[in-house]
């Protein structure tokens, strides 16, 4: 399990590369969401998501020989964009394995940053298997999107910034996909402020960690069905599960219709466009799934903004 020292080292490593995103106080949402609302807009991060933090921390930690070997990752899109961008920045050759049903915005982003793209399968397990094959065949360094310790430590830098900017924060609400983001955030948050509450939000169509918590062990899903493409992993990661069980206070889920309403609320009231995955926390608050009170200071992590504008247009029309 990663430690607070790993996360502090990551913060020093990525400083000057990743953006320190602002912590925004949005009082206009207080009454609707039932708390004092703060937003951590990682949709404004380089490449449009929090994934840049972990990718940079990993690639900056590589040896000279490892950089020459090149890197490979499996991704639904945001991690792939971040790895491609970081690799280009550092002069490293990168390959990205993406699903055949990739979000077109994210697919275009990976191409734009110069990585080689391999389309393979629709499930995260299929992408990971292909990535492992490439590692064996070509000797590349794998950059796992949510299992790699350097990646998780990089994501945890979000917590350090939140508590630095507002030491009075009572809750941090985090979207959950593979579990790397919440693992890093929860580890850092509990280390610097043990009484803070960390809440994870999953799509109803992919409740891996909620079901795992009930089963008391990591479980796999037969299928994943959600518009939140950034969270389309079909199993609970066995390395992240114990971190989540140790540090995450509650796990809740929201359905696609609730996610759509949250996206529209953010766009209307804050002028921020987030992808479906990034709206999970707001959706949970809108449907009263959080245990916070009107006096609690709650930070919602908006994990990314690489959404399909055609999907957004359809959501607005509904």
Catalytic residue positions?
A: 51, 303
- What CA–CA distance (Å, rounded) separates 225 from 20? 33
Q: 131 and 97 in contact (C-beta within 8 Å)?
A: yes
CB atoms inside a 10 Å sphere around CB 126: 16
Sheet strand arrangement including 94-98: 116-119, 94-98, 71-74, 141-142
Cα angle vertex 4, ends 65, 75, to 5°? Answer: 55
Question: What tokens appear for 61 in the block?
Answer: 């930690």
Residue 52 neighbours by CB under 8 Å, 6+ apart:
18, 19, 45, 46, 82, 85, 86
Distance CA 36, CA 296 (A): 6
DSSP 8-state code for residue 140: P
Tell me how long the chain is: 318
Backbone Cα Rg of the chain: 18
Q: Nearest to residue 197, comparing CAs of 166, 173, 171?
A: 171
């Amino acid at each position: 399990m990663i430690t607070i020292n790993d996360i502090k080292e990551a913060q020093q490593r990525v400083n000057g590369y990743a953006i320190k995103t602002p912590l925004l106080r949005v009082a206009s949402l207080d009454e609707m969401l039932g708390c004092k609302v703060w937003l951590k807009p990682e949709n404004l991060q380089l490449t449009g998501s929090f994934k840049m933090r972990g990718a940079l921390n990993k690639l900056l930690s590589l040896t000279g020989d490892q950089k020459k070997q090149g890197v490979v990752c499996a991704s639904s899109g945001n991690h792939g964009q971040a790895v491609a961008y970081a690799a280009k920045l550092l002069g490293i050759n990168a390959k990205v394995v993406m699903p055949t049903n990739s979000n077109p915005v994210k697919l275009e982003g990976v191409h734009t940053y110069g990585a080689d793209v391999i389309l393979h399968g629709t499930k995260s397990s299929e992408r990971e298997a292909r990535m492992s094959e490439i590692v064996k065949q070509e000797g590349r360094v794998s950059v796992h999107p949510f299992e790699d310790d350097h990646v998780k430590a990089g994501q945890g830098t979000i917590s350090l910034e939140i508590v630095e900017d507002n030491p009075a924060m009572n809750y941090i609400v985090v979207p959950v996909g593979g579990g790397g983001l919440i693992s890093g955030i929860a580890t850092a948050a509990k280390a610097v402020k043990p009484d803070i509450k960390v809440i994870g939000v999953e799509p109803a169509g992919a409740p891996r960690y909620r079901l795992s918590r009930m089963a008391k062990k990591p479980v796999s899903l037969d299928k994943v069905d959600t518009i939140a493409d950034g969270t389309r992993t079909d199993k609970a990661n066995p390395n992240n599960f114990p971190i989540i069980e140790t540090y995450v206070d509650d796990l809740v889920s929201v359905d696609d219709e609730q996610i759509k309403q949250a996206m529209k609320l953010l766009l209307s009231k804050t002028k921020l466009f987030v992808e479906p995955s990034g709206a999970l926390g707001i959706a949970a608050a809108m449907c009263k799934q959080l245990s916070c009170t009107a006096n609690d200071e709650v930070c919602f992590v908006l994990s990314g903004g690489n959404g399909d504008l055609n999907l957004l247009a359809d959501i607005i029309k509904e």
